Amino acid sequence: MPPSQTHLPHYERPPVIEVVCGIQFASPAGFGSVHFGRFYDRVRREFPDSEEQSPLTEAFEGPLGVQAQAQIAFDLPPLRRVFFKTTDGNFLLQVQPTRFLANWRRVRDTDEYPRFSAAFDRFRRGWAEFLAMLKEEGLAVPRANQYELTYINHLAQPGDTFPAAMPKYLRSVPWAMQPEGLLKNPKAAMSRVTFPLTDAAGSLHVTANHGVRAQDQKPVMVVDMTARGAAAEDWSDLENWFNVAHEHIVSGFTELTTDEAHRLWKRVQ
């Protein structure tokens, strides 16, 4: 973690289950299916497993949030998105013609979050390998247009049911403010709020929704915190942007959640 961010809130048992660092860019001319294989040759020692997925839609952050989404248009046949995964499945790189992402994800309940610095380091090293591959193949340097940082959290304790338990974790839940009112625990609830990042660096989108975990049908509340913002074409502002986004996500999460929840997650700072 950069020295300027050592003041951020810290938990011994954070509820984060996934962190995604990403950069979006204009597709380099000539990029084709063969280049997924060329990249795999460079990273297969660390990421030996692969998986194919449909490409993500491009998203562009505007003054009011994500204002427009355009379907990715490629020459036929369409190029896909490929995951390159570590053997344990905790870390992965995602490559498609207009995006490069690096994820840490909790696969097993015993997996410990390695902290942002570890996830961001994999992103930077993977991006450097991707650029080196493009150069080796004689392709143009991509022009970046947007950064993205996402934290996904699962909030739950034994006995919790949602959305009834949302006030236990989130501040200012409306039905928790009127305990004697006619409206009691709702049957369904979803919250979405967008905050600006400092220095017009983009936006932070926070959503909270309830559901069940696929692996064990355990009720959970999912809190997704996604920051997006414009990138310099040469990504020279990459380090600074991710520092700003990370600070907003970590501090913002603490500001939006309750003291009771902080004790459950063993806040130490």
Closest CA to 253 of 153, 144, 125, 165: 153
Helix ranges, the chain (H)? 34-43, 116-136, 166-169, 238-256, 259-264
What is the structure's pLDDT at 57? 84
Determine if the peptide bond prior to 3 is cis (ω within 30°).
no
Give the pLDDT mean for 16-22. Answer: 97
The pair of structure tokens assigned to 28 is: 């380099």
CA–CA separation, 229 and 60 (whole Å):
8
Neighbours of 132 (CB within 10 A): 12
Q: Among the listed ranges 3-7, 55-59, 150-154, 159-163, which one has the minimum average pLDDT value?
A: 3-7
What's the average model confidence in pLDDT over 143-172?
92
Average pLDDT over every residue of 31-56: 94
Per-residue pLDDT, 52 = 92
Cα dihedral 13, 17, 23, 26, rounded to 10, equals: -170
Give the best-scoring range by mean pLDDT among 6-15, 35-44, 178-187, 204-213.
Answer: 35-44
Say if residue 211's pLDDT is above 90.
Answer: no
User: In what order do the strands lie in the sheet containing 144-155?
Assistant: 49-53, 81-85, 91-96, 99-105, 16-25, 144-155, 219-230, 203-212, 190-196
Residue 69 — very low, low, confident or very high, per pLDDT cuts 50/70/90? low
Cα torsion 42, 48, 54, 59 to 10°: value is: -60
Task: Tell me the average pLDDT across 181-197.
Answer: 86
The CA distance from 212 to 174, in Å, is 23
